[in-house]
Structure 1
Amino acid sequence: MRVFAGLLAVAVLAGCANSGTGVVPPTTVDQVDLQRYQGTWYELARLPMFFQRNCAQSEARYDLQDDSRVEVTNRCRTLEGEWQEAKGQAVPQLAGKTDKLWVRFDNWFSRLLPGVAKGEYWVLYLDDDYQTALVGHPNRDYLWLLARTPHVAPALLDKLLEVARGQGYDTDALIWRTPDDKLPPP
């Protein structure tokens, strides 16, 4: 348990390390209409992360609640074709500003350390029709290229990659959605 607590402390301190270093955070969109943002988004690509290590295809469903919280359901399809699911909620980091959200999933870690177990969800790009989005973390360790459909035209993909690179994200490290024909039927 001491080792776990020590590792957790190091992780929290590392997350704070960007504070005051002069690193300019990425730019977000001005405002997100959460009513229009809700629904299903498919992950086209992402930067590697521990909790998605077994995901071949991922999707997220966002449902706006009456109290302005957003219910989040993330689904992940593994290379074996099995679905895994995580539920959580998102809330604005600042009241009235919807470009930067706190997301917390209902799991053992968030129940153990509720103040620490929330992630930053910054909307970096969103097209006018709410069909493609780029979401990242301010430290640039996490990034998702999202769309309303599992596949998009090459020009849209190029646009998302251009914005991500312009914001300082490492697009060479992206993990791409596994094609349907490479997975067993659901």
Structure 2
Amino acid sequence: MKKEILAWESAALLTATLFTLNSCSSIPKGAKAIQGFDKEKYLGNWFEIARLDFVFEKNLNNTTAEYSLNDDGSIKVVNKGYNYIKNKSVASTGKAKFVGDATEGRLKVSFFGPFYSGYNILALDSDYKYALVVGKNLKYMWLLSREKTMPEAIKKDYLKIAKDLGYDTSALIWVNHN
């Protein structure tokens, strides 16, 4: 009897773990990732213009993301920033993979081994200069640019998309690049 309970608990834990890992690559309700995505054009350096703050980016300015191809076809992600409280630069390297078709802007990214989280590109201009990226839920959002600024019209359009999905854009941290 005790072995049966342990086996059932182990199966339940495994199922819950798999569900959690799978759901980490999700997209917020109502959000649609861009279609016709070209990963080659997306590679390179991006400046973080604004974000919904979370623990791994707390107190960071001058935040950037650099995307390049790994040998296995996945995307290498190097996030950098400057912690203005601790007065030091920080960097984190991860890996991104497509959730489905590589022409859809839906990826999952990991900085911690087998644990992935959603990386969903909801808006991207035709020149791949400006992007609206969201995570798995309404707690994660970034405005990215190839330059240290973003035109007001594009910023306004991207913020409207986010607001319409339920994001609290008033809580955005506007990143200083100096």
TM-score normalised according to structure 2 size: 0.78
2: distance between equivalents of 1:92 and 1:26? Answer: 17
Deviations 1:51-92 (CA, angstroms, capped at 9, x unpaired):
111212210000024543111100011215521000011010
SS of aligned partner of 2:99: strand
Match of 2:32 in 1: 27
- Does 2:58 correspond to 1:53? yes
More deviation in 142-151 or 156-165? 156-165
Q: How far off its partner does 1:97 sit?
A: 4.4
Distance in 1, Cα, partners of 2:77 & 2:106: 15
Q: 1:21-56, CA deviations, whole angstroms, 9 ceiling, x for partnerless residues?
A: xx8331211132000000001000000211111212
In structure 1, how many angstroms separate the alpha carbons of the residues matched to 2:145 and 2:50? 10
The one of 28, 36, 42 equivalent to 1:37 is: 42
How many residue pairs align between the two structures? 157
Q: For 1:146, what is the secondary structure of its paired residue?
A: strand
Q: Say which of 93, 96, 106 aligns to 1:87.
A: 93
- Please, which runs of 5 or more residues in structure 2 have no aligned partner? 1-15
Residues 81-112 of structure 1, C-alpha deviations (whole Å, 9 max, x = no match) = 5210000110101143441111011xxxx24x
Q: CA 1:179–1:33 in structure 2 vs 1: closer, same or farther (change >3 Å)?
A: closer
1:131/1:36 CA distance change after superposition, 3 Å = same
Equivalent pair of 1:45/1:146 in contact (CA under 8 Å): yes
Once the two structures are TM-superposed, the CA of residue 169 in structure 1 deviates from its matched residue by 1.3
- Quote the residue 2:139 is aligned against: 141
CA contact under 8 A between 1:25 and 1:139: conserved in structure 2?
A: no
1:60 & 1:24 partners in 2: Cα distance? 26
The AA in structure 2 aligned to 1:87 is T
Q: CA RMSD in A?
A: 2.5
1:162 CA drift (Å): 1.7
- Output the amino acid matched with 2:127: D
| Corresponding residue number in structure 2 for 1:122 | 120
> Using the alignment, how far apart are the partners of 1:39 and 1:76 within structure 2?
16
CA distance in 2, matches of 1:153, 1:139: 26
Distance 1:98 1:65 in 2: 19
Q: Match of 2:5?
A: none
> 2:152 maps to which residue?
154
3-state SS, counterpart of residue 56 of structure 2: helix
**What is the alpha-carbon distance in structure 2 between the residues aligned to residue 157 and residue 121 of structure 1?**
19
- TM-score of the pair, normalised by structure 1: 0.75
The answer to whether the 8 Å contact 1:31/1:97 transfers is: yes
2:101 is equivalent to residue 103 of structure 1: no
CA distance in 2, matches of 1:138, 1:72: 17
